[in-house]
Structure 1
């Protein structure tokens, strides 16, 4: 997913704790999010959902499976 692309969360890969952390940030299966930016070399990924922006670590972000809107 590139910066400024929209997509729908279709799967969260990880244990109960990781999934719960993402859900607490508003990232759930079925939620539409937009990738705002990503730092170089595996740094944090910034996504927005509605009026909220959150920074997610690279390791956690790569476990969020997105269906990109065309």
Structure 2
């Protein structure tokens, strides 16, 4: 089973391996700094949006989209 962003626990890190979805969603995420090869740290995933730290910047994304982002846990 593949790990996705919503499988990370608070303060756990992961390396983005890919995004399941069309070119539009990949482009939107890339413009926000979330693309293949980026290291992310989970800030909060308890309820509501998933909040991430990406190179010192905070990004909040919906749980549905977070479930499409494949990661390797670090």
TM-score (norm 1): 0.90
Gaps of at least 5 residues in structure 2 are 1-7
The 1-side partners of 2:15 and 2:64 are apart by 19
The root-mean-square deviation of aligned C-alpha atoms, in Å, is 0.8
For structure 1, the 5+ residue unaligned runs are: none
Deviating beyond 6 angstroms after TM superposition, the runs of 4 or more aligned structure 1 residues are none
> Which aligned pairs between 1:5-44 and structure 2 lie closer than 5 A?
5-40=12-47, 43-44=48-49
TM-score using structure 2 length: 0.86
Relative contact order higher in (CA < 8 Å, ≥ 6 apart): 2
Aligned residues: 67
